Structure 1
Amino acid sequence: MPLPLPNLTSSRHPVSDHCDGRRFFNPAGLPPAGLKAIWDWRRSADPAAWPERFESPFPPDAPPERVTGERLRLSHIGHSGNLLQTAGVNVLVDPHFSARCSPSQRFGPMRHAEPGIAFAALPPIDVVLVSHSHYDHMDRATLTRLHDDHRPRFVVPLGVDRIVRGWRRKARIEAYDWHERAELGEKLSVTLWPAHHWSARGVFDRRKTLWASFALQTPAGFVFHAGDTGFNAGRDFAAAREAFGPAALAVLPIGAYEPRAIMKPQHQEPDEAVRAARLLEAALAVGVHWGYWQLTDEAIDDPLRRLEAALSRWSHPPERFVAARPGMVVELPAAIDAAATVRLVREDAQAAG
């Protein structure tokens, strides 16, 4: 049976340029598609066939216990989930270790690859960042297990704290609005940054909780983790560059974008992701949110083909924007061999096709 949803009907939040006190919205942006439009799409959708398995060319990662000094290590778990280690602090962003992204493990999208890190192989987790409440980014089983095994700090957008506290009353959780900053450790902080998206766990709680990207200031430089977002003319990326300087690393979604009439307000496509990396002046960008769960209509390797075309269109060096697969590791300041990564991912996609 689906898990019960928290009661958010009485939620109250500060009135702002992105909240009317009850619901959040994208200022000067597009609203999400309505329920009727989504229903019509689902009834008539003809999604591309995905292979049953699309395993990563990278072996499962075995992260070190800590990363110190001015180094940073990022390991891709799958979809938008990443382990970020720097300044002696271990941070999980949008972790998801369940087989399905759904209210129930009996139905809903099944993952097409194993996580890039086994849950048992995680180092001690200090902080968990959750970008928003959608099931592919916020998994109850994963978060409750992390609480039980690691007792981390949860840093989340406004309203998401109520959901997590409904699962684990004693969770160490802090909720923030856009532009608010949390100190995570010495020389390590995160600012919740505007994203062009929405939120829901069910039909009646749409936009009752906030969504956000993460701007991390680290010893290795500025790291931008988009979480989930539409492009929205690049406004939020340009503003982040203005606020924090050029990004040493940008983690950007490149998948779940078709049909555009439904997905444009919430999911950018690869050409927009390349433009986002350029607006952030990212030394290295990593494309996520593809090839893990089939959420939309495009083929499993279409994001990779479109990314290659976009890099050529914008004359952007391909070694500076790589498509992530589970188990892939990025290390700063010495970055991964991006050319080898592109080759491995391309060969894997061709084999799946």
Structure 2
Amino acid sequence: MAGNRYYQGPVSDHFDGTRFFNPNGIEPRGFFDLLRWQFGGGKARWPKQVAPRVPPAKPARTVSGDALRVTMVGHATLLIQVDGLNILTDPVWSERASPVSFAGPKRVAAPGIAFEDLPPIHIVLVTHNHYDHLDTDTLGRLQAAHRPRFVTPLGNDGFIRDAAPGAAVTVMDWGDKAELAGALLHCEPAHHWSARGTGDRRMALWAAFVIETKAGRIYHIGDTGFHQGINYRAAAEKHGGFRLAILPIGAYEPRWFMEGQHQNPADAVEGMALCKAAHAVGHHFATFQLTDEAIDAPEQALAVALAAKAIPPERFPALRAGEIFDVPVA
């Protein structure tokens, strides 16, 4: 078996010495299933460009006290402002989520915050190395402009250091914790996978993060399959619930192909309940077309799922670019 080019470390319950895996989980589908999906039809047509619902946000420099504010930039990129900290998740300002600039999924919605309007960024969370989450051009720009602390799971630090020379990088395994700028960060399991090319599948780890602050706990998941709710239950048991859960709701069709890696909106609503989150924010939709569903399908399905559970929609908004959610104090 070929060695791991990104990480060398001891065998664990989610690392076999060469590749990471989801314990008792679903393996990512192989090449022939990919061809079956790609040539099977059923892909909804997205518009080439979407008019913004709101003008681009111009964030305050900071928020303090009990305030917890989330601003959608697009896809899995959100600005979290809490307790004097400005935290970016999976930042992508590039036009394509792709290894090349001339092909691959293209942005249909402009970023909800102009890069130049960002407040000082203290922490950047990179959940895994797929191109719609780890964008080397953006990481380099952030290092040049803000010199933040980058936080990422095992094996992803090399990409960040190459993209952002001199970057301060905290590398974490599932179960690790680190105190950064007054917040306590926990690295937690997610049911997903990783790859940057054809020969490096699952050689870098994927993860969720829990952010403990004076204003409450935040559970951020960049990508995950529902995994029978196992990780949600474990997060609630370990952390005791959350003021806010930031949960993916898009890129889920067709289910036979996507179920193991991307939850759907009904799964996300169930996950919100299982992890004992007072509020949630939906992301990972309406920016890059990665899968078959229509651009507005995640929002519609989320509304149906919330109604079925009698959860008021204001507890779980699906934010479009530029929209802001000031999270109520639970």
Q: TM-score, normalised by structure 2?
A: 0.96
Aligned residue for 2:92?
A: 96
Counterpart among 207, 219, 238 of residue 212 in structure 1: 207
Q: Is the 8 A contact 1:220 1:332 kept in 2?
A: no
The structural deviation recorded for 1:65 is 1.2
CA distance in 2, matches of 1:162, 1:38: 28
User: Contact (CA 8 Å) 1:247, 1:280: kept in 2 or not?
Assistant: yes
Aligned twin of 2:256: 261
Find the aligned partners of 1:89 and 1:270 in 2 and give their Cα distance.
29
> Given residue 264 of structure 2, which amino acid in structure 1 is its aligned partner?
E
The one-letter amino acid of 2:106's match is M
Secondary structure class of the residue paired with 1:200: coil
Task: Specify the code of the residue in structure 2 equivalent to 1:230.
Answer: G
Q: Structure 1 residue 318: deviation in Å?
A: 1.8
Q: Is the 8 A contact 2:7 2:154 kept in 1?
A: no
Matched, 1:154 2:173: no
Deviation at 1:100, TM superposition (A): 0.6
* Runs of 4+ off more than 6 Å: none
Counting matched residue pairs gives: 328
Partner of 1:19: 15
Letter in 2 for 1:255: G
Instruction: Answer yes or no: is the 8 Å Cα contact 2:306–2:312 preserved in 1.
Output: yes
By how many angstroms is 1:60 displaced?
A: 0.9
Partner in structure 1 of residue 70 of structure 2: 74
Give the TM-score normalised by structure 1: 0.89
Matched with 2:319 is 324
What are the superposed Cα offsets for residues 289-343 of structure 1, whole Å, 9 maximum, x if unpaired?
11111100111111112111111222222221111111111223459xxxxxxxx
Aligned partner of 2:81 among 63, 78, 85: 85
Aligned-residue sequence identity (percent) comes to 48
Is residue 2:308 matched to residue 1:300? no
Task: Give structure 2 stretches of 5+ with no counterpart.
Answer: none
The answer for the alignment partner of 1:288 in structure 2 is 283
Report the aligned-residue RMSD: 1.5
Cα distance, 1:266–1:10 mapped onto 2, change above 3 Å: closer
1:97-176 equivalence runs, <5 A: 97-176=93-172
Please name the residue that 2:216 is paired with.
Answer: 221
- The whole-number CA distance in structure 2 between the counterparts of 1:11 and 1:248 is 34
Q: Could you tell me whether the CA contact under 8 Å between 1:64 and 1:123 is conserved in 2?
A: yes
Determine if the alignment matches structure 1 residue 65 to structure 2 residue 61: yes
Q: Secondary structure at the match of 2:290?
A: coil
Task: Give 3-state SS (helix, strand or coil) of 2:217's partner.
Answer: strand
Quote the offset at 1:90 in angstroms. Answer: 1.3
State the secondary structure of the residue aligned to 2:137: helix
Q: Residue 68 of structure 1: CA displacement?
A: 2.2
CA contact (8 A) 2:62 2:84 kept: yes
Q: CA separation of 1:74/1:15 partners in 2, compared to 1, >3 Å: closer, same or farther?
A: same
Unaligned residue ranges in structure 1 (runs of 5+)? 1-6, 336-353
Once the two structures are superposed, what CA deviation does each residue of 1:73-97 show, in whole Å capped at 9, x if it has no partner?
Answer: 2111110111111222211111110
- The letter of the residue matching 1:299 is A
Are 1:314 and 2:309 an aligned pair? yes
